């Protein structure tokens, strides 16, 4: 007997084109007996089924609380918790409840009992986030509708009508999806993931509330750095798919004419001179400062300052200067040839290389241009750039000179910064104008308050200074400076950098020799 799943396509479930197919060995209860499903990759079928005039089936078999299935009115229990998993082909796997009634024949069409809500989450943080669970609840609107729990189903109805019903039993008004083995669902920076939540049909006037929490993967101490509640309303019939679309994190406008936005990576770029691996610093405030060399972690062989364009591309005109681990000698002043030799695709660290903890694929990240930095940091704030912060922080603020977790640097504010003064404590003395903070005094932000700001979309650029030849300009208790490369070249020997120091506390558009070793911070395009 072949099994056909009618509903969201010819499969058990679907999420934006990802399907949950039959899996060999699953069980269906047929006429009161559990039968194993055999799946050959294209169709599902049962063997050893006793011949009968009428077949009655429930999937999965555990849903059936009427042992014999000997009549058309059966009681099923719709789970309040589902475990989301991925099969060997990367497809979503969910036990989407189904039922069927048919006469003797070769095909038994199982119809979905439930509707479904697809929860779509886009990550606009500069780091990978983890989602522990997704909950859909019916707790508002004209009626409080049942989404899970016991339900009587009439199998004789060819349309398998499942009537929406209201309930005051709170346990039946929610459905939760957890993830395989307790491992959270990871969403890369800039990535969109969808999770399907099966729910019983609901009537007109219902309002769903979708709840989930996310946390930064690398920071185990932060269990829930971001949470959002989003409502979506209206009737939802059997087989119908509802959608709840949401974005976590915040983006930065870098072109006011086109509206282009970017996500800024979770930390400065680093390179391992032994394993030849590229990565982002685990935390935004990590700088690799040691007592010997400012840019080099000698024990683990990570470097964090680079000559311009040292992506490792084999087409570089000067091989030594093209290597990210080029020696700190006068030969680092070797520059690329004529401007016509410059290939932005190959010379950009993020375009040419896969970043280990940034998706691990090439052509995903990139470096900002000088004009984009002018928008991000200059005195003319892009629109919209709003903040509900007052007193401590200002609407339209571009950046804040600060010490985060004891490290000097600047905090960048995204287009929308949804944090109130009551939610964060910033120490120190500082003042501001409408576009940027211009005081030589610096704010102090401890780790707990920084986590709150990071969860709201703030970005931190740590002080880096630079290296020319064998001279390392190391930070002191009074010195503060940022030197970050852009992809914009200057003539045939130079390139533009982001430079900010506390002597002037002003953003400068400087050109440096391409052999100068500066920091790199990558971005990912949102649109």
Single out the residue in 112, 135, 154 at which a domain terminates: 112
Examine residue 128 and state whether it is found in any structural domain, yes or no.
yes
- The SS3 of residue 440 is coil
Give the list of residues 6+ apart from residue 340 with CB closer than 8 angstroms, or none. Answer: none
Region of poorest pLDDT, from 139-143, 331-335, 419-423: 331-335
* Same domain, yes or no: 66 and 168: no
- The stretch 426-448 carries a mean pLDDT of 64
* Same domain, yes or no: 163 and 208: yes
Give the model's pLDDT for residue 329: 38
Query: Looking at per-residue confidence, does 274 or 10 come out higher?
Result: 274
Q: Is 478 exposed, middle or buried (0-12, 13-18, 19+ CB in 10 A)?
A: exposed
The whole domain housing 59 covers: 2-112
Single out the residue in 65, 87, 112 at which a domain terminates: 112
CA distance 400 to 440: 10
Region of poorest pLDDT, from 281-285, 415-419, 427-431, 483-487: 427-431
* Same domain, yes or no: 190 and 119: yes
Give the model's pLDDT for residue 297: 53
pLDDT band at 333 (very low <50, low <70, confident <90, very high): very low
Give 34's strand partners: 29
CA dihedral sign of residues 160, 166, 169, 170:
positive
* Same domain, yes or no: 96 and 180: no
* Same domain, yes or no: 138 and 230: yes
* Same domain, yes or no: 107 and 133: no
Peptide bond into 83 cis (omega under 30): no
Nearest CA-CA partner of 432 in 460, 396, 394:
394
- pLDDT per residue as tens digits for the range 5-51: 776 555 666 555 556 678 888 888 888 888 888 888 778 888 777 77
Examine residue 284 and state whether it is found in any structural domain, yes or no.
no
* Same domain, yes or no: 140 and 156: yes
* Same domain, yes or no: 201 and 239: yes
Examine residue 327 and state whether it is found in any structural domain, yes or no.
no
- The stretch 218-233 carries a mean pLDDT of 58
Give the model's pLDDT for residue 263: 96
Examine residue 324 and state whether it is found in any structural domain, yes or no.
no
Nearest CA-CA partner of 509 in 402, 345, 376, 348:
376
* Same domain, yes or no: 119 and 50: no
Q: What percent of the chain has pLDDT over 90?
A: 16
- pLDDT per residue as tens digits for the range 66-83: 656 777 888 888 999 998
The answer to whether the beta carbons of residues 121 and 133 sit under 8 Å apart is: no
* pTM reported for the whole predicted model: 0.84
Give the list of residues 6+ apart from residue 352 with CB closer than 8 angstroms, or none. Answer: 311, 312, 313, 345, 346, 362
Q: Looking at residue 219, which CATH number applies to its domain?
A: 2.60.40.2630
* Same domain, yes or no: 132 and 232: yes
Examine residue 34 and state whether it is found in any structural domain, yes or no.
yes
Query: Looking at per-residue confidence, does 220 or 196 come out higher?
Result: 196
Examine residue 456 and state whether it is found in any structural domain, yes or no.
no
Count of domains observed in the chain:
2
Average pLDDT, the chain: 76
Buried b vs exposed e over 183-218: b needs ≥16 C-beta within 10 Å?
Answer: ebbebbbbbebbbbbbbbbbbeebbbbbbbbbbbbb
- Give pairs for 179-184: CB < 8 Å, separation 24+: 179/83, 179/84, 179/85, 179/131, 179/132, 179/133, 180/83, 180/84, 180/85, 180/86, 184/130, 184/131, 184/132, 184/215, 184/217
Single out the residue in 187, 217, 249 at which a domain terminates: 249
Give the model's pLDDT for residue 339: 38
Q: How far is CA 518 from the centre of its chain?
A: 28
Examine residue 182 and state whether it is found in any structural domain, yes or no.
yes
The answer to whether the beta carbons of residues 33 and 47 sit under 8 Å apart is: no
Q: Which helix (H) or strand (E) holds 107?
A: strand 107-112
Give the model's pLDDT for residue 361: 93
The answer to whether the beta carbons of residues 99 and 64 sit under 8 Å apart is: no
Nearest CA-CA partner of 225 in 453, 521, 525:
453
Examine residue 411 and state whether it is found in any structural domain, yes or no.
no
Give the model's pLDDT for residue 317: 37
| Both tokens assigned to 412 | 């960048």
* Same domain, yes or no: 69 and 120: no
- pLDDT per residue as tens digits for the range 229-256: 555 567 888 888 888 888 888 899 888 8
* Same domain, yes or no: 183 and 197: yes
């Amino acid at each position: 007997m072949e099994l056909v799943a009618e509903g969201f396509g010819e499969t058990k479930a679907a999420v934006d084109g990802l399907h949950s197919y039959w899996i060999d060995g699953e069980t269906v209860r047929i006429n009161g007996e559990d039968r194993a499903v055999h799946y050959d990759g294209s169709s599902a079928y049962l063997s050893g089924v006793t011949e009968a005039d009428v077949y009655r089936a429930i999937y999965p078999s555990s849903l059936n609380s009427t042992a014999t299935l000997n009549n058309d009115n059966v009681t099923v229990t719709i789970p309040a918790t589902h475990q989301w998993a991925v099969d060997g082909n990367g497809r979503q796997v969910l036990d989407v409840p189904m039922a069927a009634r048919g006469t003797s024949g070769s095909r038994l069409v199982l119809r979905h009992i439930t509707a479904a809500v697809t929860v779509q989450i886009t990550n606009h943080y500069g780091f990978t986030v983890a989602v522990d669970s997704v909950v859909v609840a019916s707790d508002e609107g004209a009626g409080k509708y049942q989404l899970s729990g016991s339900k009587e189903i009439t199998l004789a109805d060819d349309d398998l009508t499942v009537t929406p019903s209201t309930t005051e039993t709170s346990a039946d008004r929610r459905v939760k999806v957890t993830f395989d083995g307790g491992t959270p669902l990871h969403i890369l920076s800039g990535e969109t993931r969808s999770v399907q939540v099966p729910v019983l049909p609901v009537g007109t006037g219902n309002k769903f509330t979708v709840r989930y929490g996310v946390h930064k993967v690398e920071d185990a101490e932060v269990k829930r750095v971001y949470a959002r509640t989003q409502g979506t309303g209206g009737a939802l019939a059997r087989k119908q798919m509802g959608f709840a679309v949401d974005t976590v994190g915040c983006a930065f406008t870098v072109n006011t004419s086109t509206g282009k936005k970017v996500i800024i990576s979770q930390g400065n770029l680093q390179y391992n001179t032994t394993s030849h691996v590229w990565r982002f610093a685990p935390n935004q405030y990590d700088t690799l400062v040691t007592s010997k060399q400012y840019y080099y972690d000698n024990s683990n062989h990570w470097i964090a300052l680079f000559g311009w364009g040292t992506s490792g591309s084999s087409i570089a005109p000067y091989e030594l200067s093209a290597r990210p681990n080029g020696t700190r000698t006068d030969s680092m002043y070797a520059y690329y040839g004529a401007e016509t030799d410059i290939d932005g695709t190959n010379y950009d660290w993020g375009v040419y290389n896969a970043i280990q903890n940034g998706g691990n694929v090439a052509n995903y990240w990139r470096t900002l241009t000088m004009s984009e930095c002018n928008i991000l940091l200059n005195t003319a704030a892009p629109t919209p750039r709003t903040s509900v912060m007052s007193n401590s922080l200002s609407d339209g603020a571009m950046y804040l000179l600060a010490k985060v977790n004891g490290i000097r640097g600047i905090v960048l504010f995204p287009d929308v910064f949804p944090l109130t003064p009551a939610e964060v404590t910033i120490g120190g003395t500082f003042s501001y104008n409408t576009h940027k903070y211009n005081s030589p005094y610096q704010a102090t932000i401890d780790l707990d308050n920084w986590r709150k700001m990071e969860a709201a979309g703030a970005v931190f650029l740590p002080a880096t200074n630079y290296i020319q030849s064998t001279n390392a300009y190391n930070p002191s208790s009074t010195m503060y400076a940022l030197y970050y490369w852009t992809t914009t070249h200057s003539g045939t020997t130079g390139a533009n950098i982001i430079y900010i120091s506390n002597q002037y506390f002003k953003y400068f558009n400087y050109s440096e020799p391409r052999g100068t070793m500066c920091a790199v911070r990558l971005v990912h395009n949102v649109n």
